[in-house]
């Protein structure tokens, strides 16, 4: 998606440690009109699939998932990053390591919201090493639901996550793929 690449170059920045900062329009301060364009693009890319539900992980993936779900016409389910007191009954869970925060957590979804046989599209803001997506895939598999694919806003193509997920036979569609980056430049695939 050329518009996303342009927005990253014009409004994003690079932080030490290979972090692409896009919180001026995507993560913290959300450009809602642009977000709806992202949702339309995801819906268009996956228009050939029957999708029953979108699954994401809190918190930055929620807005993108909502935009896509509104275009597709399906509900959004999001995994919490730890079991809270308002999640009761049977849960589906998966351990995930966050490289951004350098900590481990357990992604949790109430089992009542993910049914056997449902066709699930995974949506997230970033794909780098793939830990969050692998956790979501595990949750879908625990429910005996079907992963139809993953829609990612920004993929760090030079890291192994996308390759590893694709090697599992899962369709991954990223709107912007960063081929390389330095302290002051980003090159897209």
- Please report, for the chain, the start and end positions of each structural domain, with discontinuous segments joined by +: 2-184
CA distance 71 to 56: 16
Average pLDDT, the chain: 94
CA distance 41 to 43: 5
Residue 162, CA distances (Å) to 19, 30, 42, 53 in order:
17, 25, 17, 22
For the segment 6-23, the average pLDDT, to the nearest whole number, is 91
Architecture of the domain defined by 2-184: 3-Layer(aba) Sandwich (3.40)
Q: With cut-offs at 50, 70 and 90, classify the pLDDT of residue 84.
A: low
DSSP 112: G
How confident is the model at residue 128, as a pLDDT?
94
How confident is the model at residue 102, as a pLDDT?
84
Encode pLDDT of 147-166 as tens digits. Answer: 999 999 999 999 999 999 99
Q: H helices within 15-130, ranges in order?
A: 32-45, 60-72
Q: Which class for 90: exposed (0-12), middle (13-18), buried (19 or more C-beta within 10 A)?
A: exposed
How confident is the model at residue 32, as a pLDDT?
96
Task: Please determine, for residue 97, whether its predicted confidence score (pLDDT) is greater than 80.
Answer: yes
Q: With cut-offs at 50, 70 and 90, classify the pLDDT of residue 89.
A: confident
For the segment 31-44, the average pLDDT, to the nearest whole number, is 97
């Amino acid at each position: 998606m050329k518009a996303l690449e342009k927005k990253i170059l014009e409004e994003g920045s690079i932080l030490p440690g290979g972090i692409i900062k896009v919180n001026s329009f995507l993560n913290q301060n959300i450009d809602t009109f642009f977000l709806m364009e992202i949702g339309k693009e995801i819906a268009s890319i996956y228009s050939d699939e029957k999708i029953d539900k979108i699954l994401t992980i809190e918190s930055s993936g929620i807005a993108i998932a909502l935009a896509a779900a509104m275009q597709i016409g399906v509900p959004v389910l999001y995994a919490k990053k730890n079991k809270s007191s308002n999640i009761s009954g049977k849960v589906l869970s998966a351990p995930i390591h966050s490289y951004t925060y350098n900590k481990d957590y357990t992604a949790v979804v109430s089992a009542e919201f993910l049914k056997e046989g449902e066709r699930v599209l995974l949506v997230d803001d970033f794909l780098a090493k793939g830990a969050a997506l692998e956790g979501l895939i595990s949750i879908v598999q625990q429910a005996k639901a079907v992963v139809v694919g993953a829609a990612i806003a920004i993929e760090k193509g030079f890291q192994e996550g996308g390759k590893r997920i694709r090697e599992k036979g899962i369709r991954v569609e990223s709107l912007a793929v960063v081929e390389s980056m330095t302290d002051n430049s980003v090159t897209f695939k």
